[in-house]
Structure formats: structure tokens, C-alpha cells
Amino acid sequence: MNRFSENKNSKERNDLDKKTLRKTLLKRRESLSWLEVQGKSHEITQRVLFLPEYKKAETILIYLAYNKELDTSAIMQTAWQQKKKIVVPVCQPRDRSLLLSELLDFNELAPGTWGILEPKAEFLRPVPVQNIDLLIIPCVAFDREGYRLGYGGGYFDRFLPAIRSDCTKVGLAYDFQLLDELPREPHDTAVDIIITESRTYYVKKESP
């Protein structure tokens, strides 16, 4: 077997592993009651607001929760009160990219791609990726090295390498979504901090 075949087979195994793991974890997430989602989201919100990296950030890119993802609305509300700029991702299915748009109020939102809330067309205010100080992203799972299992669309995978090197990347997850290890690809980008309802986990980076 040549190296190309080995790499191809390895990728196929990874894709299969990711698909199985994604299905299992999403099923577990959907089994949570809305009361549990609310309680765990509250705990995580407090942890985010306590972060020094949050406190010093002026422009925050944050996801809008869908289904039973951890709710970020309280983080956004507090950030607005503190005069921080809130930016949200808008999926662009044509090229599977993300448009970044400043959000001033929840009333500017409407269901968009796949039913995920996004700014209505008249409220789109594009923001350059280089303006982002803090990035808060969702997951299906994270591992202890900060690598992420997403939903399979690759939107954040393609976006993450474009952010500033000093932009702090924070992943929000339920406790059961933090795993020891995940299948990964060479191009995957790790987050810096993972926050669950019970802990704030700083990913240890290897020294250059």
C-alpha cells in the first residue's frame, strides 16, 4: 500500500469515527431537559464572565445557540452592558464560509441557514476577522488538547486559521463533551480554553 492509499484510508476511518461519535454525543445532548440546559448555561456564563481574557476583550465573536447548545445570550447581554462589541457568525452555504457581522440587539435576528438565528439582511454590519479579540465557539466535542469535533460542515475549521494569533479561542461544552482524545486532521486548529459547567480548562501548549 502506498502512502497516498494509507492517508486516504486513515481519513476515511477518521470520518467514520467522527460520524459515529457525533451521532452519539448529539443524541445525549438532545436528551437534556431545557431546565438542565438553562442551569448548565448559567454556570458556564459565570465562568466566561470571570475570564481575564473576556474582561480585556473589546470585540467578541460569539455563536448564537441552536437547539440545545449552551445558551450564550446572557454573555452577550452582559457584554453589551459593558460596551463591548458583539459579533456573530453568519453561514454562507455557497462557499461554506462565515461572514462576521456586528449585532446590536436580539431584535435584529431571524432564523437563517438550518434555522440558526442570524442578523436580517438589513442589519448586516461586516466586521474584519482581524478585529476579533475573543472567539467563543460551540462544539459537538472537544478533547483535552483543544481540538474540536464540529457538525461536519467545516465552517469553523476553515475560519479558525484566519484569526489573529493573539485572539483567544474559547470553546463551550457540557462536561460530557470534553473527551480525552478526538480524531483529527493535520489542518485542525485547537482552542486555548475550554469551559464546561464544572471547570475552566486551559489547554497546555507545547513550547516551540
Is 208 among the domain residues? no
Domain count, the chain: 1
Task: Give start and end residues of each alpha helix (H) in 57-99.
Answer: 73-81
Going by the annotation, the residues of the binding site for ATP are 18-22
Is 207 among the domain residues? no
Is 10 among the domain residues? yes
Going by the annotation, the residues of the binding site are 18-22, 64, 69
Mean pLDDT of 46-71: 97
Is 73 among the domain residues? yes
Is 43 among the domain residues? yes
Is 19 among the domain residues? yes
Model confidence pLDDT, tens digit, residues 68-100: 999 999 999 999 999 999 999 998 878 777 899
Is 41 among the domain residues? yes
144-168 in b/e form (b: 16+ CB < 10 A) is ebbbbbbeeeebbbebbeebeeebb
Write the CB contacts of 84 (distance below 8 Å, at least 6 apart in sequence). Answer: 57, 58, 59, 60
Model confidence pLDDT, tens digit, residues 24-33: 999 999 999 9
Beta strands in 29-167 (DSSP E): 59-62, 85-92, 97-103, 109-111, 117-119, 134-137, 141-143, 148-149
Going by the annotation, the residues of the binding site for substrate are 64, 69
Helices and strands: H and E segment counts in the chain = 5, 12
Is 102 among the domain residues? yes
Range of the domain at 45: 3-202
Q: How far apart are CA 105 and CA 125, in angstroms?
A: 12
pTM over 0.75: yes
What cell was used for 156? Answer: 469553523
The CATH number linked to 25 is 3.40.50.10420
Tell me, what DSSP letter sits at residue 61?
E
